[in-house]
Amino acid sequence: MHSDQAKAGDRHGREGMHTDAVFSIDWLALRRPADTAARAHALEARARAWLDARRGGSPRALHLVDLGSGSGANPAHLAPRLPGPQRWTLVDRDNALLVHARHACASLCDTEGKPVSVHTRLQDLATLDELTIGEADLVCASALLDLVDASWIERLAAACDAHGSAVFVTLSVDGSWRFERLCAPESSAAGVPVWEADTDVDDPVVNEAFNAHQRGNKGIGAALGPDAAACLATALRTRGFDVELADSPWQLQLDDSRQSQLARALIDGWREAACAQLPAMAERIRHWHARRQAWCAGNSGRLVVGHVDLFASPPRSST
């Protein structure tokens, strides 16, 4: 299960799954470079330091649980950046993606170059409870939170508190996006690029409609959409966790063919969601879509899409 950021790529609802929470391998692969570039490295360093301290001198494997693992991109990114030994449990309700993740993560190593252990668990995350978290040292998720409701967030926070698990959730949408163009060279200081907004009169209309659509039911209650990261931060702080948030925006350069493809897929998805949310304005939204697609095709600007990363350490440790 992965973020409803765009609803791009192939949407082929598999049996028993909400179609707004089903994502194709192609879509996950398309977004993966942008995800990697956007991650907040300072929070990765905090997670690494916390796990080092958690392990101490013990030879036991650190247990990491990845919720909504999809194709396995999150453990593939984190495993070589975190201390070992590591034992991962990848949890998802899409068996096809779990099969892919199992193969993709089979040769992962930790930061010391030692192989990690990877297991998968087929589970509908709507049933999240303490058993899902198990004895995890670190609970991870990427591009997941905007699909869930407030009660799910509370259950996650309570389960992590019960087990003394740290939490590292990345790439949660914050509801913002903007189109930017590069200023003239004489506007740049010391060769540093300076970007300015490129606005369209209907950008706010589509953005507001998309964010409203994000808050619909994606299979786990009324989704929090762009409010999810802040909701989780509050739930964890209430339980005494030390929580840090950091921006992790996608910055899609339109003169790069792969990033431009992702940007255009996003715009397609925003049109689709906005038309579903505001059917009476569908024609106006389609005109906006045509203008923005043309802008991307003939432009060396960029599309910035807001995301947030979160790391939280528990008020106590369990071993």
What's the average model confidence in pLDDT over 24-35? 84
Given this model, what pLDDT does residue 299 score? 76
CATH 3.30.950.10 for domain 19-175+218-252+305-313: no
Q: What residue segments make up the domains of the chain, in order of their start?
A: 19-175+218-252+305-313
Task: Choose among 1, 41, 11, 13: nearest CA to 244.
Answer: 41
Q: What is the pLDDT of residues 244-296, one digit of tens each?
A: 999 999 999 999 999 999 999 999 999 999 999 999 999 999 999 999 999 99
What's the average model confidence in pLDDT over 12-22? 42
Q: Is 81 exposed, middle or buried (0-12, 13-18, 19+ CB in 10 A)?
A: middle
Given this model, what pLDDT does residue 189 score? 58
Given this model, what pLDDT does residue 190 score? 63
Q: With left for phi above 0 and alpha for psi between -120 and 50, is residue 9 left, alpha or beta?
A: left
Q: Quick one: pLDDT band at residue 80, thresholds 50, 70, 90? A: very high
Given this model, what pLDDT does residue 14 score? 38
Statement: residue 42 has pLDDT above 60: yes
Q: What secondary structure does DSSP assign to 34-87, as a single string?
A: HHHHHS-HHHHHHHHHHHHHHHTT--SPEEEEEET-TTSHHHHHHGGGS-SSEE
The mean pLDDT of the chain is: 88
Statement: residue 9 has pLDDT above 70: no
Given this model, what pLDDT does residue 184 score? 66
pTM value is 0.88
